[in-house]
Chains A and B, each alone.
Chain A
Amino acid sequence: MTTQISAERILQLLAASVLLLIVLLFGFLMWFALPVFFNPQTSVLSLHWQPEQGQFGIVAMIAGSGLLGLLALLLAFPIALGITGFCLLPRYRRPARFIRALIRLMAGIPTVVYGLAAVFLLVPLIRETFRTGSGFSLISATLVIVLLILPVMVMMLDSQCRPLAKELRMVSASLGFSDLQTLYHLVLPNARRAMASAALLGFGRAIGDTLLPLMLAGNAPQLPDSVFDSVRTLTAHIGLVLATENDSAMYNSLFAAGLLLLTISVLVTLLIRYMTSSAKATTEGSES
């Protein structure tokens, strides 16, 4: 009995310490970032990042991160949906097994491998095909980020749609639905929340990745005119400026960037949690 209680205590303590760490992290970032936001001399809320001229605006980096996340999501989402749908069709059971294994393998590939391959293959291809820049651009980073977030999105969708499809198979068969009709009219409409959480998860990962934008996006602190322009994301910005002198205005802008990133990822996580939990509630409600 006593051992059970103490074990429970230890678990509670661990959970509490994780919570405490997150609160501390937020507090620490706020403590350093808020004075930066409200300092009129070195405004971080401007478009111009020219440290030699005393301008430390990170708005271009916020735009860079946002654009990269949205574009990657826009490209990856239909592909992920297509792959999931394909794997759910009973007649493709055998190739589906292979595809699922491949997707799981893709999820485990370190991003630096993608980055290195893209520097030597994708960047020159884009430079010589379109001839509008160095090839280090929003589009290069986006294409490789799609590879990065595709497996997580497919795995998320698949894990939620597969039980659903199994559940509905008998019903749809008795109604005379074909496999494709089942997928279109029964499985996918019932998986809206899974789709939303997969999209959010993909977006969160796309925004959070540091190495790929650092290696491929070109890191120019500007608002891009086209997808072939070089952009800098918040994460790459932190990576590039981290090694500068402590307490300089440049260094302090990092806390603002860090706070923004943490806020975005917490918001995304909360949204996913809210959606998955309310999805559970509705399915339970419909069953009863």
Chain B
Amino acid sequence: MRLKFRFIKLLLCSVLAVPAVGMASELDRFENLSGTLNIAGGTAHIPVMKQAAKTIMSANNDIRITIAGGGSGVGAQQVAKGLVEIGNTGRPLKPGELKYGLLSFPFAIDGVAVIVNPTNPIQQLSSQQVMDIYSGKITNWKSLGGEDRQINIFTRDEASGTRSVFVKKLLNKSPVSTQANVVPSNGAMKTAIARDPGAIGYSSVGYIDQTVKAPILDNVLPTNEACASGEYPVVRKLYMNTKGQPQGLTQAFIDYIYGPDGAEFIREAGYIPVGH
């Protein structure tokens, strides 16, 4: 409703050629721009990008913004090759990617939480227990005080930014058991955990809903507030990456994400906005 109102306001301003004095909108920066902006990469970024793109495109019909997923690796690859203007990653760029002259713009903080099936009686875990589960030392929920059921471990694919932060900050880079099942996205992880009473996995905090349960980890409940205050340590930044200094529409889009509207979209998606 508010968006529609803003759109009408803009429309009126342009039709009547009345300068919008005192009504300067976040969207003004797109007024004289046109063209296409292609975005690809991390799946965690998509809700924010979509919301921003929708708002911008309904304010200015000359702008087209396309958004594709694919994961962090794809984001870095495609922006390095010049296939997209903005490549999203859920991790800092690796040296092999930096050599293409990419610039990173961190815009949000996202937590990565351990998730289990909602029927699982386990309420809390320590990071040592999680490490032991993932290395294959603990194999039954019974030894953690749960029911007598085999633990089914789920992990993410090798290109995942969620996996890289989980392995680095929670497992302390200790090896993941080769028996772990591998799923290719945050959504597939949630589906697998939601349907298997013996499963353990991990996902972006923004993805957690009624279908899965995030147990207390080292006495901290993984919520957005805990991630923002730094109390919950398993967090990562979400990045937009460009090849060289961004220009024109790309620059305007990045500024918009950093502005008050962008911060709102980031909060709506379940993440915490960060400044320049």
Contacts and interface: CB of A to CB of B under 8 A. Distances in A.
Interface string A123-164: 110010001111110000000000000000000000000000
Interface stretch (B4-12, B123-131, B170-178, B213-221): B170-178
Contacts of B180: 220, 230
Given A131-B150, A135-B196, A244 B73 contact: yes
Given A124-B195, A133-B150, A134-B196, A243 B176 contact: no
B214 to A, nearest CB: 19
B131 to A, nearest CB: 13
Given A132-B150, A214-B184, A246-B77, A220 B159 contact: no
Interface stretch (A49-57, A168-176, A190-198): A49-57
A78 B80 CA distance: 51
A223 to B, nearest CB: 9
Given A127-B196, A220-B182, A232-B182, A240 B152 contact: no
A246 B96 contact: yes
Main secondary structure of the interface of B (DSSP, over half): mixed
Chain A contact residues: over half helix, strand or loop, or mixed? loop
Contacts, number: 89
Contacts of A243: 70-74, 77, 157, 159
A13 interface: no
A120 B192 CA distance: 10
Interface residues of A, number: 38
Interface in A218-250: 218-222, 229-230, 232, 239-248, 250
B234 interface: no
Interface string B143-181: 000000010101001110000000100000101101111
B198 interface: yes
Contacts of B158: 51, 240-241, 244, 250
A126 to B, nearest CB: 11
A49 B178 contact: yes
B97 A245 contact: yes
Max count, chain B CB within 10 A of own CB: residue among A52, A127, A132: A52
Contacts of A240: 157-159, 182, 184
B70 A133 contact: no
Contacts of A135: 196
25 contacts: A52-B173, A52-B175, A119-B191, A127-B196, A133-B150, A134-B152, A134-B154, A134-B181, A134-B192, A136-B181, A218-B182, A219-B181, A219-B182, A220-B178, A220-B182, A230-B179, A230-B181, A242-B159, A243-B70, A243-B74, A243-B77, A244-B158, A245-B73, A245-B96, A248-B96
